[in-house]
Structure 1
C-alpha cells in the first residue's frame, strides 16, 4: 500500500511519516512544497523526510503521479480544502488533520467532492482510540450509566507557537485555542451520543499570552444536545510552557446511575531529573496515532472503532463555528 503525507505544516506530520515508515507492507512518500509559509527556524520539507528515510516529492503533482492509495493531509487548517479536493480529483482516499476545515462551508465542499469522486474522507481524531475512552463508550452504550445527563471535559495544552507559529495565525488556523482544542471532545461526544448538538454558548479571552498573540488562548464552550445532555468543554492553551508535559484531555460523564471519569493520556510515568533539573514523563501503552493510522488504512480492529468520517468532521466544525458566533454575540447560538 502506498501512502503520501501532503504538507508538513502540522506537528503531527513527522510522527505520521515515522509510523508509516515502520508499518509492514506500507510505502510512504512525503511532499511539502509550501515551505515558504513556515516561520523562521521551523523545520519543513526534505529536512524532515530524509532523516526519517522517507522518499520525498518536490510537488503535490509528483506525489499523485507516484500513485498513492491514500493520502494524509497535514497542511494548515485553512489549506485543507484544496488538498482534499485534489485527492478527490485523483480518486484517492484521504485522512485530513483536524479540524476538517475552518468553516462549515469549506467542510461541506470537501465532503461533497469526496462523495462525488467515490473516495473516503476521514478526520484525524486519535483520542477516540484511547483505552480510557473505549471503557467510557462501553459503559454508556451498554446502558450501565443510564441516561447521560451532563459532561465536563478539558482539552488543555501549551501555546503551540514554539512548534508551529501558524497555530496562532487567525488566517491560517481559523482562530486560536477554541479552534484547536474544542474539536477532540466534540468528536468523542459525536461518537458517544445517538444525538446531535442543538445549541452552543461560548466565552473566550486572550488573558493568557496577550502580549504574544491576538487570538483567543482560553475558552469555555457549553453544548446542549437533543438527548438532553449538556456538555461543558475547557479548550484553553493554559498549560505552562515550563511544564514537562504538553497538556491532556480529561472527560467526566455523569449518568443517571453512574459517573465516569477518563484521562486519555494517563499512561505515563512521571518523575524529576536531578541532572536536568526538570520534570520528565515517559509515556507507555497504546500509541493513539499509530492505531488511528492502522484503522484508516486497514479497517477497524476487534473493538469496532473506526476513524471519524467527513460527516462527523463537518458536525464538529459546525460546533466550533457556532461557538465563535456565540462568543462574539455574548449569547447562545441555535444550530
Structure 2
C-alpha cells in the first residue's frame, strides 16, 4: 500500500500517539477543561457547542485543522502571521478540541461544513477564504460545494481531497471508534510516547520548538475525542467519492499546497489529481516539505492565502 493510501490510519495513529493521557476522561467542556484550557469563545448551534478563536481585522480567513487535532495547531504560529492583514477565525472541528460532535455515528465533512456555515453566519462572516489542513481540507471542500455563497476562495494544505482505493481503510477504525477501544488505546499511551511520536507527523522537518507543550497533548486521545475522530475518518471516503464528482463545478479560486515529501497524505493521490479536475486551481508543490506545511513553510502558506484573497477580490466586511 502506498503512503497516500495509508493516510487515514497513519494520520490518526500519529496524532493518537502525539496526544493525551487520560484513559477514561469525559470530553472536555468550557466548564470542565482538560489540562489544556480552551483559548477562545463558544457558540451553541442547534444544541451543540462550538469552540473558536477570532483575531485581527480585514478580509475574513477561516482555518480548519486536521484529523484529531484542534485549533491550537493554527494559533501556535499561523494566526499571528495573518492577523495583521485579516480577520482570522479558527475553529475546533465538531467532535474535536472543545467542540461537541454532531452525530453519535460520526460527522461527515458535509455535516461539519454545515455546522461551520451556521457558525460563520452567527459571527457575521459573509464571504471568506477557507483554509483547510489535511482532513480539514475535505471539510473546506464540502463547505465550498454545499454553501458557495459564503466561500470566496479555498486554500488546501496537504489536503485529503480525493478518495483512496476502496478497501484500504484499516479495521483499527472500528475498534478505535468504540467506547472500549478508545479507552484501551488511551490507557497504553504515555506522554513520553506521545512526544517521541510527534516527529513522524512533521518529518522530514523538525517539530517546532515549544509545539508539543503548546498544542495540547491531553486533548486528542481523550477517549471521546479519539472515538469522534475515528468515526469521522471512517465516514470520509464515501464523502470524497461524492464530493470529487462535483469538483468540476467549483469555479472559485483554489490554491493547493502540498509537499513532495509528505508521507502522511500522498501528493500523487490527492493534490495532483484534484488540481487536474478543478477549473480554477493552482498547485504549488513544495520540494522536500512534509505534511505540516504551515509550520515548515509559513511564508509560502501566507503567500498562498494572500493569492487566494486577491484572486477572490475579497475586501474587509463593514
**What is the TM-score of this pair, normalised by structure 1?**
0.33
Judging by fraction of residues, say which structure has more strand. 1
The structure with more radius of gyration: 1
* Larger RCO (alpha carbons 8 Å, 6+ apart): 2
TM-score by length of 2: 0.34
